[in-house]
Structure 1
Amino acid sequence: MADQKKPDDDGEKGGFLSDLFAPIAGFGVTFATMFRKIETQEYPEEKRPTQLRFHGRHQLNRHPDGLEKCVGCELCAWACPADAIFVEGANNNDAEGERFSPGERYGRVYQINYLRCIFCGLCIEACPTRALTMTNEYELAANNRADLIFTKEQLLAPVLSGMLPAPHPMVEGMEERDYYQGKVQGATDEQREWVEQRGGDTVVDEPHETPVEHREAGRYAGEGRP
């Protein structure tokens, strides 16, 4: 009975050794990092390129003839977990042919509050028309909080060569689904004539933003929740 080992002897010995070497094991990562080559980025002079699927600033896209892809359905706003998006839809003026989108409605007011946005991309998944995508732009710093609430004119894709600034009629003979099937390749002569009669610009040499006449001073994105 005297030669029997107590069951707690080995446990106490192992516990003492583990406590003794615990600080050394904890500093192992620190010491390994100290002797590792430091990679310094000379930002902002040298910027590291982002990946193709990087989640950066949002963009509201256009169809090849210049009409907006957004139909004002507000699904992106409903999908946003941070309540960072505010959309107010309006009906297109079919009587006069003034269309901003090929759908029944368009996004009259569109705001994204980047003070709330977490860049999760759920709004992109919810968009049924592929109107909202995320770019590789990540420099969104500002000195004023109000400057981080982006409006539609800031998010809207520029008018490229071959496009016409909205509003203008759809391509003659085309329906809404034809736009999403890729059958529209650019603005037609009939659309250009309509814009000329309206007194708008029909020649786009360089990309530029389309002025939005319906700027809304309503509630900002993110004010829906406390």
Structure 2
Amino acid sequence: MDWLNAEAFTAFGQHIKWSDMTGNLIGLTALALGWRRSVWTWPVQFASGLILFAAFATSHLTGSAGKQLVVMGVAVWGWRQWSRGHRQERDGAIAVRFATWGERAVMAGAALLGTLVVGGLFTLYPSLSWDPWPDAYIFVGTLVAMYAQARGMVEFWFAWLLVDLVGVPLNFANGYVFSGFVYVIYGVLVLWGLRDWWQRSRTAPALEGLEGAAA
């Protein structure tokens, strides 16, 4: 597995690793599929997590590797949610909605508490992370975003934006330059995806009302 952390090429004086490039390109594809509300976003996210897990594990980055295991687990759960439990629109894509205020409060509370717990754990065991608090923030924020995505909530995109704000500088600082650039592209896709999901969440109830009146 050494090839994963081998240098693919050099750009602007920065060494780009195969694992960093491959895993994040697949992750970018997963985000694009999420924007299109395709159920295939989840197996693609799983594949991205698998590659990054192998890369981090071979580099002895235990915390980052553990994060990918959790991401892979959430991807499996998200696949099940979208395959079985969620309403679909006429084009076969997943229907989306805004979260209730109660759901927002739960996610915000879980993000805060989770960051404190994970950050404290990383601080107690420095071998798990070189940047305990930013890493904890990204770790928990990613899980909250994936949870919201699995539930078809528009807030999924807001959560990703908040993760990006810390993820970009953290990846550059740790030498994962390609990840940093990909996070910038994530930001652009997130804005487009947010606009699309927002519009669809507004039009879906109106369409349902018209169909009900016609029936």
Q: TM-score range by the shorter chain?
A: under 0.3
* Max Rg structure: 1
**Higher fraction of helix:** 2
Identify, as 1 or 2, the structure richer in strand. Answer: 1
TM-score (norm 2): 0.26
Under a length normalisation based on structure 1, what TM-score does the superposition of the two structures give?
A: 0.25
Choose between structure 1 and 2 for higher RCO, CA contacts under 8 A separated by at least 6 residues.
Answer: 1
